[in-house]
Amino acid sequence: MSSLQPAQLVEQLHRGDPRSVARAISLVEDQSDVGASIMQGLDQQRLDEALTVGITGPPGAGKSTLTGALIHHLRQQKIRVGIIAVDPSSPLTHGALLGDRIRMMDHALDQDVVVRSMATRGRLGGVCAAAGAAMRIMAASGCRVILVETVGIGQSEMDIASLADITVLVLAPGFGDEIQAMKAGILEVVDLLVINKADMPGAQKLLFDLGKGLRASDQVLQTCASEKQGTADLLTRLLSLEKMLRQEQKLQQRRLCSLRQETVDWSLELFKKRLTALVHAQHCTGIDPRVAAEQLLNRVIPG
């Protein structure tokens, strides 16, 4: 696999080969030139046809269970699906701490369910710079729907809203105190609100608390993902929303904004890598770190 040329790798991932998909994503994560070449050869029509759904919310809300239920319904409709599970990073290796095999075992043997764990690499927003590329690689491999489940760090998790076509915020009873703090953040940019674990005490109160701060256009659904209750309706709503966004040409506008943000993210990622190399290459003994940083930045970006 490692000896394949970029064109050969692209050809195989277009056939849906899971190993080629995994290899292509790894090359992009490693910031290799081969990875960049692969991204240039992806089938644009498949990228246009795919739908990316971001699933976010606080820990314990049941995002993984909800994601699993959506996969179940998608596969019942014979839809090939990709899953990107964005996990916390190891402080030593920067790899994902949680494994896709732990959270997605029900679909481990299904060749039309492509799962990838990706590390946040310390980013507060919860989504790594390579996530957008991974979404496009999965789309090129034939995944009609790509679900991006994020680490769930609450208010700070805004990246996913700028990356996905549609963003779903998952809450559960017991998170009422967080609602007020979140209203000025993620609640303003999500497309769908899901109250999961709706069979638990406090679900109706949460619905009432949410309703006091929502716009008339906001959509709220109730689910019990562990029993797959309400999750089929959620998928129907997602696909209906996609159709509306396409008809109103808003999906294209969102994707243009996403590509711009990805360009910024990659610029910062690549700049940090090169800047780190420069810092380690020069001797800063006896120089105040801020002074050294200013000198270095003035060399790299004059003015």
Same domain, 96 and 10: no
Residue 104 lies in a domain: yes
- 29-32: long-range contacts (C-beta < 8 A, 24 or more apart)? 29/118, 29/128, 29/130, 29/134, 31/269, 31/270, 31/273
DSSP state of 156: G
Could you tell me if 47 and 141 are in contact, meaning their C-beta atoms sit under 8 angstroms apart? no
Report pLDDT for 283: 66
| pLDDT, tens digit (0-9, with 9 covering 90-100), for 154-196 | 444 567 778 899 999 898 887 655 555 555 566 777 899 899 9
Q: Which of 41-50, 52-61, 205-214 has the lowest mean pLDDT?
A: 205-214
Is the model more confident about 90 or about 203?
203
Report pLDDT for 276: 84
Report pLDDT for 180: 53
Same domain, 1 and 54: no
Report pLDDT for 261: 84
| pLDDT, tens digit (0-9, with 9 covering 90-100), for 122-131 | 444 446 668 8
Angle at 90 between CA 174 and CA 101, to 5 degrees: 70
- Average pLDDT value over all residues in the chain: 82
Same domain, 199 and 61: yes
| pLDDT, tens digit (0-9, with 9 covering 90-100), for 194-205 | 999 999 998 888
Give the number of domains in the chain: 3
Pairwise CA distance, residues 255 & 242, whole Å: 13
Same domain, 100 and 242: yes
Report pLDDT for 97: 40
pLDDT band at 88 (very low <50, low <70, confident <90, very high): low
Same domain, 284 and 174: no
Same domain, 109 and 169: yes
Same domain, 144 and 199: yes
Residue 72 lies in a domain: yes
Same domain, 228 and 272: no
Centre a 10 Å sphere on the Cβ of residue 25 and count the other Cβ atoms it contains.
Answer: 25
Residue 24 lies in a domain: yes
pLDDT tops 70 at residue 80: yes
Residue 75 lies in a domain: yes
Residue 93 lies in a domain: yes
Report pLDDT for 11: 95
Residue 92 lies in a domain: yes
Is the model more confident about 37 or about 175?
37
And the tokens for 233? 């309706």
pTM here is 0.84
Same domain, 265 and 276: yes
Residue 253 lies in a domain: no
Report pLDDT for 10: 95
Report pLDDT for 31: 83
Report pLDDT for 59: 80
And the tokens for 173? 């009873």
Same domain, 106 and 208: yes
Q: DSSP per residue over 70-112, as a string?
A: HHHHHHHTT--EEEEEEEPBPTTT--BSS-HHHH-GGGTT-TT
**Residue 296 is part of which domain span?**
258-300
Same domain, 20 and 98: no
Residue 150 lies in a domain: yes
Same domain, 235 and 115: yes
